[in-house]
Amino acid sequence: MPLARRLLVDRMRPVHAFVDVGLSVRARSQQQAQQRTPTRIQHRRLLSRATAILNAGTASCQSDMRHIRCNPAQPCKSPAWRCAVLPEAPAQLPVPSLPSAKETAMSNFVTVADGARIFYKDWGTGQPIVFAHGWPLSSDAWDPQMLFMGQNGFRVIAHDRRSHGRSSQTWDGNNMDTYADDLAAVIEALDLKDAILVGHSTGGGEVAHYIGRHGSKRVAKVVLVGAVPPLMLKTEANPAGTPLEVFDSIRKGTGGDRSQFFKDLTTPFFGANRDGNTVTQGMRDAFWLQGMLGGVKGQYDCVHEFSEVDYTEDLKKIDVPALVVHGDDDQIVPFDASAKLSSQIIKDAELKVYPGAPHGLTVTHADQFNADLLAFARK
């Protein structure tokens, strides 16, 4: 071979080798792709068949990418691996009905007349104590009392007022008549008898109005704590009451920056602006959390119910022993316009005044109140 040609061949060997390697890699890739392709097609076919089977009403066959209906009474012409006969579906799936007000104690909800669902807690055994919470809170506000009284042999029940806590947030029905009827629905659903009703703040109005509307046949005793009755609003007949402008500001705060308003409200509620107070951040946070869990429409409407409703006639109908507890430094519900008068209107009432105690005394003075509640319940 001539020298020039041999030199050219020697120079081209690396190029040929590189091309050979590339062709070899490409060939192997094509071979592997051909090996993988059937598997992918099989997967697609299996997926299509599974989808067809799941979507069939009585039977489904797949042939040439089309679904064919089969009659289970006749042999199917499609291959066995392409057809699956399923049980015939029911004509109509059963729709569970809404529970009535006679639900069992394990449900944690009672559905009332207008369809609203009222959440409740039901712990322990023994004589029942039913707690009604204040505005804008929930049944969690009663945890210190429920734990203590449950540990002392009582059955303790507390519900979330509609549009508060975990209960339904309703547009309508956020009024004291409905609150009292909701309470009655819970009491009747659980078939409570010889119950002790305990109401704080707005809950005190709810308890009083319950007796006013439903009587005391299921009630043994009543406890009103920092309660709003007989009337919070200042009028000519109630000069010790609170001016309407105060309640208008509460409505404005609730309908505006509700979160900040509830944070600010914890100061007078717990007496955090008083020297020597023992208010913790945890107390404030719990109040805020419970308040924000409720619905703004229901909370807004409720302001009228705790401020402008007159409960005098309801108090007159309380014909069971009653304990009235109030702090003399209550900055939310003034003592002179509430407990002082209520204890005089109720036929058989015992009044206990806590010196220096705020509106939220069930938390700040929990030990003292728990002891008084236990003593009264055991009488």
pLDDT exceeds cutoff 90 at 274: yes
Q: Mean per-residue pLDDT for 301-318?
A: 99
Distance between CA 377 and CA 369 in Å, rounded? 12
pLDDT exceeds cutoff 60 at 99: no
Distance between CA 85 and CA 62 in Å, rounded? 12
What would the two tokens of residue 231 be?
């009337």
Distance between CA 61 and CA 49 in Å, rounded? 8
pLDDT at 180: 99
Q: Identify the active-site residue in 182, 314, 330, 372.
A: 330
Higher pLDDT among residues 294 and 79, named by residue: 294
Q: Identify the active-site residue in 60, 359, 365, 372.
A: 359
Closest to 320 (Cα-Cα) out of 341, 350, 362:
350
Q: How confident is the model at residue 45 (pLDDT cuts 50, 70, 90)?
A: low
Q: Mean per-residue pLDDT for 112-136?
A: 98
Per residue in 225-242, pLDDT tens?
A: 999 999 999 999 999 999
Kindly report the average pLDDT of the chain as a whole number: 84
pLDDT at 60: 41
Q: Mean per-residue pLDDT for 74-86?
A: 45
Q: Mean per-residue pLDDT for 290-299?
A: 99
pLDDT at 333: 98
Distance from CA of residue 95 to its chain's centroid? 24
pLDDT exceeds cutoff 80 at 136: yes
What would the two tokens of residue 198 be?
């305990």
CATH architecture group of domain 109-377:
3-Layer(aba) Sandwich (3.40)
For 116, other C-beta atoms within 10 Å of its C-beta total: 20
pLDDT at 327: 99
Strand partners, 322: 222, 349
Closest to 195 (Cα-Cα) out of 235, 160, 155:
155
pLDDT at 95: 43
Q: Say whether 107 is catalytic.
A: no
Q: How confident is the model at residue 17 (pLDDT cuts 50, 70, 90)?
A: very low
The CA–CA distances, whole Å, from 3 to 7, 8, 13, 28, 41 equal 6, 9, 16, 37, 57
Q: Say whether 43 is catalytic.
A: no
What phi and psi values does residue 350 have, to the nearest 5 degrees? Answer: -110, 130
pLDDT at 52: 54
Q: How confident is the model at residue 47 (pLDDT cuts 50, 70, 90)?
A: low
Question: Is the Cβ–Cβ distance between 163 and 286 less than 8 Å?
Answer: no
What phi and psi values does residue 338 have, to the nearest 5 degrees? Answer: -130, -90
pLDDT exceeds cutoff 80 at 91: no
pLDDT at 6: 52
Q: Identify the active-site residue in 201, 307, 338, 342.
A: 201
Q: Say whether 194 is catalytic.
A: no
pLDDT at 253: 99
Q: How confident is the model at residue 49 (pLDDT cuts 50, 70, 90)?
A: low
Strand partners, 132: 159, 199
